[in-house]
Amino acid sequence: MSEEKTHIVPYKTQIVVLIVLLILTALSVAVTQLEFGSYNTLVAMLLAGAKSVLVLAFFMHLKYEKKLFPVMVAAVMVIFLLVLFVTFFDYSYR
């Protein structure tokens, strides 16, 4: 049996998270109309990043799990970003 105590996330928290997510979505659609030049993609990715942090932390319960879980997720993201980065050592300098 699992002896770890379960953490019940209240409905209210979840609904608040959804509302924030929807606002961020609206924001990212709205922002496309603005002109940030090459920063547009960066802004879009930052907004998407913020959304995924919310989903990971609340909907996927990372905030309430053992520390190990968020650490692993972060490590995986770091590895992915490094792979992307190293790949562009080729493509940026061809």
Partner 1 sequence: MTDNTRQKQPSFLEYQGRYKGILGWILSTDHKRIGLLYLYTMLFFFSVAAILGILMKTQLLAPGETIMGPQTYNSFFTLHGIIMIFIIVVPGLPAVFGNFFLPIMIGAKDVAFPRLNLLSWWVYIIGILIVLTSQFTGGGPPDTGWTFYAPYSFQTPTNVLPAVFGAFVMGFSSILTGINFVVTIHRLRAPGMSWLKMPLFPWTLYGTAWIQILATPVIGITLLLIVAERMLGIGFFDPALGGDPILYQHLFWIYSHPAVYIMILPAMGVISEIIPVFSKKSIFGYRAIVLSTMAIAFVGYFVWGHHMFTSGMSGRALFTFSFLTFLVAIPSAIKVFNWVATMHKGSLHLHTPFFWAVSFLFVFMVGGLTGLVLGALATNVHLHDTHFVVAHFHFIVFGGTGFAFMGAIHYWFPKMFGRMYDAKWANLGWGIFFIGFLSLYLPMFYLGMMGMPRRYYDYLPEFHGPNILSSLGAWVMISGILIIFANLIRSARSGPRTSEKNPWGGKTLEWQVDTPPTLENYDEIPRVDETPYDYRDYTGIDNPNN
Partner 2 sequence: MTIHRDDLGDKFGMWLFIFTELLLFGMLFVVYAVYRSMHPEAFRIAAEELDVALGTINTVLLLISSLTVAMSITAIQKGNKQRALQLLGVTLLIAIIFLVNKYFEWGAKFEYGFYPGSEVLQELGFGTILFFGLYFFMTGIHALHILIGIGLFIYVIVQMKNDKIHQTDYVWLENTGLYWHLVDLIWIFLFPLFYLIH
Is 93 among the residues that bind partner 2 (CB under 8 A)? no
Q: Which stretch binds partner 1 (CB under 8 A): 8-16, 29-37, 52-60, 78-86?
A: 78-86
Is 11 among the residues that bind partner 1 (CB under 8 A)? no
Classified as helix, coil or strand, 72 is helix
46 and 26 in contact (C-beta within 8 Å)? no
Question: Distance (Å, rounded) from C-alpha 37 to C-alpha 52?
Answer: 24
What's the Cα-to-Cα distance from 38 to each of 41, 42, 67, 68, rounded to whole Å?
A: 7, 8, 37, 37
Site of interaction with partner 2 (CB under 8 A): 1-2, 4, 6, 8-11, 14-15, 17-18, 21-22, 25, 28-29, 32-33, 35, 40-41, 44-45, 47-48, 51-52, 55-56, 58-60, 65-66, 69, 72-73, 76-77, 79-80, 83-84, 87-88, 91-92
